[in-house]
Structures are given as structure tokens and as C-alpha cells.
Amino acid sequence: MRVLGIDPGLTRCGLGVVDGGKGRSVACVAVGVARSPQEDELASRLMTVATEVERWMDLHEPQVVAIERVFSQHNVRTVMGTAQVSGVVALAAARRGLTVAFHTPSEVKAAISGSGRADKKQVTTMITKILGLAEAPKPADAADALALAVCHLWRAPMMDRLAQAEARAAEMARNHRAKLKAAQEKRASQREQAAPNTGGKTR
């Protein structure tokens, strides 16, 4: 499976493409950032980032696009810009029929470093080691994008198993409810048949 990891941002949007093999085998295909000038209008900046992200999608042909889930921060303006980039990326992926997955920062940190509270430096160090890179990806947004891609590759099998288990549990619950309903209807029918027929007369 090939995954394009996206660390959304208006000024720097991290991009990382990773191939997954058997087990936990992963290999870096490409890494970089999409940039937009801070002095440009918002619409223009979104278009600049979207154009570069779409170019990566067409060039590397990923099967899944993994995006960092946006969480509220103190800087509302930054959060809004990040959320808007996430929406643009998800739309571009959907138009190409690609699966879109969102992962929280803590999920990514836990998958890569073993701790959901790891800092950016630790994540960068670990992703460099995991992918066997000659040097650490720069800037940190690029390293985060690779981490997102690897996180999805490692979490996807577990997520699939959970989804299958939930589907089986839901099916069992539906079957159980159907059996209960059928049993209740059968008992009601038996009671009606056993009730004495007075022919409409009363004493």
C-alpha cells in the first residue's frame, strides 16, 4: 500500500509518501513541503497548496491519503488555516477516488515513538530511523507527514480488524433482535389461538 501523509498548514504543508510492505516494512518514496506566501490572500494560498498537493497525488499515485486531524489550539487563526487546508486536501483526494484517513497527533506520536506525548524532535528522530534515511527530513512538517503515512500503514490492519469486529457484532445484534421479535410474535400468535372463542357472546 502506498500512503501520502499530509501535515496540513498554510505556510508549510508537509508531504510524505511511504510504501508499506509485509508486516511493518516501510520505505520512503518522497518527502517535501508545499508552501504559500504569507502575504497572499487566503484563497490564493489555498489554491497554491492544493495545486502542489494534487501534483503529488498525480505523480506518486497513493492509494490512501492520511491527514493529521486538526485540534483546537490557542491560535485560532492558525487552526482555521490548518482546517481549511485539510478540507482542500480531502476534497482533492475524494475527487480521485482515494481513501482519506485522519489521525490525531497523539496517535501518530504513539505509533512512531511509543509515546503519545513525544515532542517533534523525538518524532523526527524516530521516523528517520524507521525509514532508514541518511538525514532527518526538514522542516519538521515534512517529518510529520512521513510519520502520518507510517502511522496509517501500521494502524490500518488493526483498524480493519476493529471495523470487521464491529460489523460482526452489529450483525449478531441484528440477528438477536430479529429472533427475539420472531419469538414474541410466535408466542402472541399461540396465545391468540389458545384463547376461547366466545363467538362474540357475553354471559
Report the catalytic residues.
7, 68, 141
Please choose, from the candidates 73, 116, 58, 67, the residue with its C-alpha nearest in 3D space to the C-alpha of residue 88: 67
160 is in an annotated binding site: no
107 is in an annotated binding site: no
19 is in an annotated binding site: no
Please choose, from the candidates 189, 104, 183, the residue with its C-alpha nearest in 3D space to the C-alpha of residue 151: 104
Q: What is the DSSP string of the chain?
A: -EEEEEE--SSEEEEEEEEE-STT-EEEEEEEEEE--TTS-HHHHHHHHHHHHHHHHHHH--SEEEEEPP---S-HHHHHHHHHHHHHHHHHHHHTT-EEEEE-HHHHHHHHHS-TT--HHHHHHHHHHHTT-SS--SSHHHHHHHHHHHHHHHHHHHHHHHHHHHHHHHHHHHHHHHHHHHHHHHHHHHHHHHS---TT---
- For the annotated binding site for Mg(2+), the residues are 7, 68, 141
- For the annotated binding site, the residues are 7, 68, 141
